[in-house]
Amino acid sequence: MFRKCFLVAVGAVMQGFAMGVFLFPNFIPSGGGAGLTVLLNYWFHIPLSIALWLVNSSMLLFAVHYLGGFSALGTLLGITITSISVNIFNVYLESPFSHVWIDLVFGSIFFGTGVSILLRQGISNGGMGVIALIIAKYKNISPGKPLFWINGIIFLITSYVIDWEIVFQAITCQWMSTKIISWLYNVSIPKNIRNILTFDFVWRN
């Protein structure tokens, strides 16, 4: 249990680092959940904070029904840590680069790595990650592919709301990050290295 919680925290912080330092400062949506948030705000004038909560909470209901209670609690933990991390990194850290495409590359790498850590624990990163994880579970495939297609469709819809260049950057970010997710999700880590990385302590009675 400690190992799982530790890895969820690591994945969530890494995801928050990518968003807070590289993606959000350039107004690049990190996923389909952010796209749905924009659409709810545009169509129904719902405040962005409330719209984001509605999107993530509705996804949590799917997680409870299809993935089990632990996955839902883990997703809630991941969302909370990610949100806190975004605020901290956004306030106290700035990207060392001054070019949006360089930020996009590094943001995609850190974001994809963080999400893959969460998905390997059976935990969604929130938003459309829940749907992707459900599809992956029942189709026995990597969640990277369904995540890319779901988010890509949402980005195309939100192109009516936000600038086309930003949408293109968002799709590029999703393509890069989901490639990383697909690879890291299936990679096999030797047990001795996994134990070292996750601080697998042995308690003696």
Contact 17, 110 (CB under 8 A): yes
**Smallest Cα–Cα separation from 100: which of 35, 31, 27?**
27
Looking at the chain, the whole-number percentage of residues with pLDDT higher than 90 is: 17
Percentage, residues of the chain above pLDDT 70: 83
Domain ranges within the chain, ordered by starting residue: 2-197
| Tokens at 204, concatenated | 């003696």
Rounded to an integer, what distance in angstroms lies between the CA atom of residue 144 and that of residue 182? 5
pLDDT value, residue 201? 36
Q: Is the pTM of this model over 0.75?
A: no
Contact 85, 79 (CB under 8 A): no
pLDDT at 114: 93
- 60 to each of 34, 102, 123, 133, how far by Cα in Å? 15, 33, 11, 12
Note the pLDDT of residue 198. 45
Average pLDDT along the chain: 78
Residue for token pair 């959000």: 24
Cβ-contact 112, 104 below 8 angstroms: no
Cα angle for residues 18, 112, 173 (degrees, 5° grid): 75
What integer pLDDT is reported at residue 95 of this predicted model? 93
Half-sphere exposure (Cβ direction) of 181: Cα atoms closer than 13 Å: 32
